[in-house]
Chain A
Amino acid sequence: DIQMTQSPPSLSASVGDRVTITCRASQNIISSLNWYQQKPGKAPTVLIYAASTLQSGVPSRFSGTGSGTDFTLTISNLQPEDFATYYCQQSYSTPVLTFGQGTKLEIK
């Protein structure tokens, strides 16, 4: 089974900051990595798919990079609405999909 490890588990930042969240796969997953944002009490929404493709309607301050085993989600110029929990998800082992443990982004 492919394991996904996200870091850090939590992160404090201020409005206007630039933050990076990382996700590491236990084996090569090429670019089959997606990023989701989840706000309290709400369903997740996809931000980035195929490692670096921005979902339609998502602000360009979100970006994703990586391939193989190491991936990053970067949020530039943090906005108040960006404080949420972020999850990575691999689909290389489809039909089985695996999520990372999540990173909670909090206001400093």
Chain B
Amino acid sequence: EVQLVESGGGLIQPGGSLRLSCAASGFFVSRNYMSWVRQAPGKGLEWVSVIYRDGSTYYADSVKGRFTISRDDSKNTLYLQMNTLRAEDTATYYCARNRYSGSYYVDLDYWGQGILVTVSS
């Protein structure tokens, strides 16, 4: 059974850093493309970042230069290192597996339960 479990969230002051983890089971993170998606309280979904099988990484403009996505294949775990956090980064963060059905066809077929990050003084 495929499962994704996030951890590492919490309350952090503006300017601080936090690392989120997403432990996967039922499949190999290294053989898949993996994304982070966030949702501010009461708001919609925002794609944050993706890591490809070959290790290539991409980011939303809103987090570029501040967030880093990575993975540990030995632990089958995805990470999101978040630096220089701002109040507007407050959100529930989800990790998700990318499913490819063709060159332009990507959906997110498995999601974690989400972890709340609150940036506030």
Contacts and interface: CB of A to CB of B under 8 A. Distances in A.
B45 A49 contact: no
B45 A95 contact: no
Contact of A102 (B44, B52, B106): B44
Of A50, A95, A102, the most chain B CB neighbours within 10 A belong to A95
A99 B108 contact: no
Please classify the interface of chain B as helix (H, G, I), strand (E, B), loop, or mixed, using the class held by over half of its residues.
Answer: strand
Contacts of A95: 50, 52, 58
A98 interface: yes
A51 B21 CA distance: 31
Interface in B34-73: 35, 37, 44-47, 50, 52, 58, 60
B22 to A, nearest CB: 12
Contacts of B44: 87, 99-102
A81 B119 CA distance: 33
A38 B63 CA distance: 24
Interface residues of A, number: 29
Interface in A61-108: 87, 89, 91-92, 94-102
Interface of B: 35, 37, 44-47, 50, 52, 58, 60, 94, 96, 99, 101-102, 104-109, 111-114
Ranked 8 nearest A-B pairs via Cβ: A91-B106, A43-B111, A95-B58, A34-B107, A97-B47, A49-B107, A32-B104, A99-B45
Interface of A: 29-32, 34, 36, 38, 42-46, 49-50, 53, 55, 87, 89, 91-92, 94-102
